[in-house]
Chain A
C-alpha cells in the first residue's frame, strides 16, 4: 500500500516549491503570536485557548492542510509529470495512499508541532490545553489531508476550492450557521480535544462518537474515491 519512491518524489515536490514557504511562515507566525501574548497578557488558560482555537486550529491547520493535501498531487497532474507514476505497474490506490501519508506527515509536522510549542509558551500546558489542541491538530491533519488530496485529484482549481472550504465554510459559516459546524473538520477535531482538556476549556458542537465516525468516514471515503479517480484520470484533453 505504501511506495517509498512515490513518497520520496512527493516530499521533494511538496517542499521544493515556492508555495511551501507558507508551510514555514504560518507556524513561525503562530509562535510569534504566542510569545507576544504571553509577554503582554501573562499565562492565562482562556487566552491560550483563544489563540490556539482561533488561529492554530481554525486557520493554520486547514491552510497547511490545503497546501500539503492539494500540493501532494495537484501540480503533478497540472504539469503532466504524473504520467511517470501512472505509466508504471503500481496500483493507483497505492499512489494515493502514499501521497496521503506524505500529506498527513507534512501537515502534522507543520501544524501540530508548532501548536504544541505555542501552547507551551502560552500557559505551559496548564489545563492540558497545549496537549488537547495538539491532538486536535493531529486529528484534523489526517482528515484535511485526505479531503484536499481528493480535491487535488479531481480539480485543477483545488487550491481555490480548498481555501474556500477552509476559510469560508469552516471559519465564516461555522461561526454564523450552527448547522454548518456539524460538517466541519475543525469541530470534529475539537470534539476529540474536548475529551483531553480540563473542564470547559475546549468546546465543540459535535459529540465525540459522531465526530469520530465522521472523521474516519470522511478520511476513508475521500482516500478511496481519490484512488478511483486516479485510475480513470484522463491526461489528455488538450487536443
Chain B
C-alpha cells in the first residue's frame, strides 16, 4: 500500500503561482486530477514525480521525500504528457531500454508490451506510431517494473474512443489490484467514468475532493443559465417562473430570446419541455450559456 502525500505545497514560476497551498493524499485505487487547462495539474504531477521542486511544502511517498531522491522510482511509474521518446527506436527497443534501466531484462519488457497489447507493432519505429500507440508504449515503459504508483499526465489526450476504452480498462484493473493510480484530465466525463476518487484543481488551488457523485452534485447544483427561443417567449416565461426551479427570466429583446437562470438543474431540464408541450409552445433554441468548463470550475472554487 503506497500513498503520496502533498502537504501545504505551493509552486511558483517567477511571479506566477502555478500551485497554491495544496494539501491532498493520494492512496490506492484510481484518483482523477480534474481541472481546466493551465490549472496547475501538470505542475502538481511533476512535483509528485520528482521532476519539480516544491517552492514550499512537502511531497512525500510513504513518508520519504520525492524531490532529489531517485530511489522512489523503484515504486513509481510515470506516463508523461510530452511526446519526446527516442523516436528512432522500435517500440520493443524502447521498452527493453526502460526495463534495463530498472535492472530488469527482456522478460519484463515483453510482459509490459503484452499488457498494453502492443506486441503486434513492437518492431516498428516509434516515429511511425499513432498517438494512441505512443501512449500505450509510454504506458508499457511505466509498467515495466510493476510499480505500486502510476502517475499519468493527460493520458487520454488525442486517443480515439476505442483506445480510450482500452486504457480506462487497464487503469481500472491497476486500481483494483491495489495500485495507487493518479491521472490528470480536463474532461469531467473521463474522470467520472474512471476515477473512484476525484481531486479538483482550479487556478492552482485545491477546489474540491471526493467521489464523483459529490463532485457531480457540486457541479450540477450551481445556477445554470440558458438561452431559449420559442414560438411564444412571454407565455413560456410566465409558465416557467411559476416553478421554484427557475430563479429568474429576462426577455432579451435584441436577441429575441429568453435568458433563464435555473437553480435546480435536474428539475428544470424536465420541466422545460413539459411546460412547452402543455402550453402548445414550440422550442426553437435551448442552449446553455455558461457551460464552459472554466465557469463550471470557477463556481466550484467559490463554493
Known: A87-B76, A239-B40. A231 touches B68 (CB 8 A): yes
A85 interface residue (CB < 8 Å to B): yes
Interface membership of chain B positions 84-122, coded 1 if the CB is closer than 8 angstroms to chain A and 0 otherwise: 111011000000011011110000000000000000000
By a CB distance below 8 angstroms, the chain B residues around A90 are 70, 101
By a CB distance below 8 angstroms, the chain B residues around A86 are 50-51, 70
Contact for B97 among A5, A79, A231, A234, CB less than 8 A: A5
CA distance A81 to B82 in the complex (A): 8
Contact for A235 among B51, B74, B76, B97, CB less than 8 A: B51
Q: Which of B77, B86, B98 has the most CB of A within 10 A?
A: B86
By a CB distance below 8 angstroms, the chain B residues around A80 are 80, 82-84
By a CB distance below 8 angstroms, the chain B residues around A237 are 13
From residue 74 to 88 of chain A, which have CB atoms closer than 8 A to chain B? Answer: 76, 78-81, 83-88
By a CB distance below 8 angstroms, the chain A residues around B98 are 84, 88
Known: A5-B100, A84-B98. A236 touches B74 (CB 8 A): no
Known: A13-B86, A91-B70. A3 touches B101 (CB 8 A): yes
A87's nearest neighbour on chain B, judged by CB, is B78
A92 interface residue (CB < 8 Å to B): yes
Residue contact A81 to B86, C-beta cutoff 8 Å:
yes
Query: How many residues of chain A are within 8 Å of chain B by beta carbon?
Result: 33
CA distance A4 to B53 in the complex (A): 29
CA distance A16 to B38 in the complex (A): 35
B42 interface residue (CB < 8 Å to A): yes
B18 interface residue (CB < 8 Å to A): yes
Residue contact A239 to B38, C-beta cutoff 8 Å:
yes
By a CB distance below 8 angstroms, the chain B residues around A8 are 97
Contact for A236 among B43, B68, B88, B101, CB less than 8 A: B43
A86's nearest neighbour on chain B, judged by CB, is B51
CA distance A90 to B98 in the complex (A): 11
Known: A5-B97, A89-B73. A79 touches B82 (CB 8 A): yes
CA distance A84 to B68 in the complex (A): 16
Write the nearest CB–CB distance from B93 to chain A, whole angstroms.
Answer: 9
Residue contact A5 to B101, C-beta cutoff 8 Å:
yes
A208 interface residue (CB < 8 Å to B): no
By a CB distance below 8 angstroms, the chain B residues around A81 are 84-86
Write the nearest CB–CB distance from A162 to chain B, whole angstroms.
Answer: 21
B10 interface residue (CB < 8 Å to A): no
Q: Which of B51, B71, B73 has the most CB of A within 10 A?
A: B51
A232 interface residue (CB < 8 Å to B): yes
Residue contact A232 to B53, C-beta cutoff 8 Å:
yes
Write the nearest CB–CB distance from A230 to chain B, whole angstroms.
Answer: 10
Residue contact A83 to B51, C-beta cutoff 8 Å:
yes
By a CB distance below 8 angstroms, the chain B residues around A79 are 82-84
Interface membership of chain B positions 53-86, coded 1 if the CB is closer than 8 angstroms to chain A and 0 otherwise: 1000000000000001011011011101011111
Write the nearest CB–CB distance from A186 to chain B, whole angstroms.
Answer: 33
Residue contact A235 to B101, C-beta cutoff 8 Å:
no
Write the nearest CB–CB distance from B17 to chain A, whole angstroms.
Answer: 11
CA distance A182 to B43 in the complex (A): 45
Q: Which of A6, A81, A83, A87 has the most CB of B within 10 A?
A: A87
B52 interface residue (CB < 8 Å to A): yes
Residue contact A88 to B101, C-beta cutoff 8 Å:
yes
Contact for B73 among A87, A232, A239, CB less than 8 A: A87
Write the nearest CB–CB distance from A20 to chain B, whole angstroms.
Answer: 11
Known: A9-B86, A80-B82, A236-B42. A89 touches B97 (CB 8 A): no
CA distance A92 to B101 in the complex (A): 12
B49 interface residue (CB < 8 Å to A): yes
CA distance A89 to B50 in the complex (A): 12
By a CB distance below 8 angstroms, the chain A residues around B78 are 83, 87
B209 interface residue (CB < 8 Å to A): no
B141 interface residue (CB < 8 Å to A): yes
Write the nearest CB–CB distance from B98 to chain A, whole angstroms.
Answer: 6
Known: A5-B101, A79-B84, A236-B52. A84 touches B141 (CB 8 A): yes
B84's nearest neighbour on chain A, judged by CB, is A79
Write the nearest CB–CB distance from A69 to chain B, whole angstroms.
Answer: 20
Write the nearest CB–CB distance from A72 to chain B, whole angstroms.
Answer: 14
Show 5 A/B contacts (Cβ-Cβ < 8 Å), sorted by A.
A8-B97, A13-B86, A87-B50, A88-B98, A238-B42
The 8 nearest A-B residue pairs measured at CB: A79-B84, A80-B82, A80-B84, A81-B84, A88-B101, A5-B100, A236-B46, A235-B51
